[in-house]
């Protein structure tokens, strides 16, 4: 089994979804993408995940992020499943779900031999240039944390714009709060100046933080 890595371009494919045929990632050029697989339709944990993604869809929209799900089920199964969610929880699943026959799962390493033939809970966060920025894998028995996925996209966008990094648990770090990390200086002169620079707090030349403005 192989799969693309962080920094690779997202493998291209064409697939049928609950909202028609998509050419991926071309159809979403200029957007952040959350491509995620689930083991199967009409299963308990997967149902809670789809509901959780939909309940946060406005937050993903605000981040210019497109959700797209996937499993090795027929499109008719996807349609009946989202109808069931609507009937029982009054929640419309508004993002597309890919009906895969194994092509996409193979491209993205979503099938793990020791987990039968279903796709695992994989998440690929892809930036507007089509580059894979993060990869998450969860076992079948553990549902995902959608707030963490939102946090990652927010952090990537800030990091790209401000050229900074985020500490652990940002923006609620136990020591630094929502401050961000300034990249370490690459020469002696810059390191010395930074120790005295207004708005930047340094604990040493290689660990400096600042507030976002």
The residues that are catalytic are: 46
CA dist., res. 146 & res. 126, Å (int): 16
Cα 119 from chain centre:
17
DSSP labels, 108-155? TT-B-GGGTTSB-EEEEEE-TTSBEEEEEEE-TTS---HHHHHHHHHH
Q: Which of 162, 153, 157 lies closest to 181, judged by CA?
A: 162
- Count helices and strands in the chain by DSSP H and E runs: 6, 10
């Amino acid at each position: 089994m192989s799969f693309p890595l962080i920094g690779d371009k997202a493998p291209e494919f064409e697939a049928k979804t609950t909202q028609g045929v998509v050419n991926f990632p071309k159809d979403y050029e200029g957007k952040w993408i959350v491509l995620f697989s689930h083991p199967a339709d009409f299963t308990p944990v997967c149902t809670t995940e789809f509901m959780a993604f939909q309940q946060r869809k406005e937050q993903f929209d605000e981040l210019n992020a497109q959700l797209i799900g996937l499993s090795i089920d027929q499109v008719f199964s996807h349609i009946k499943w989202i109808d069931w969610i609507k009937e029982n929880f009054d929640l419309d699943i508004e993002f597309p779900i890919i009906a895969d026959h194994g092509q996409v799962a193979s491209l993205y390493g979503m099938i793990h031999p020791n987990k039968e033939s279903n796709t695992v809970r994989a998440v690929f966060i892809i930036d507007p240039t089509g580059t894979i920025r993060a990869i998450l894998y969860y076992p079948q028995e553990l549902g995902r944390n959608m707030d963490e996925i939102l946090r990652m996209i927010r952090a990537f966008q800030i990091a790209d714009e401000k050229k900074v990094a985020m500490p652990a648990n940002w923006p609620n770090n136990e020591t630094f709060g929502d401050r961000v990390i300034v990249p370490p200086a690459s020469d002696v002169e810059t390191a010395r100046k930074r120790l005295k620079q207004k708005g930047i707090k340094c604990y040493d030349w290689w660990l400096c933080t600042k507030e976002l403005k």
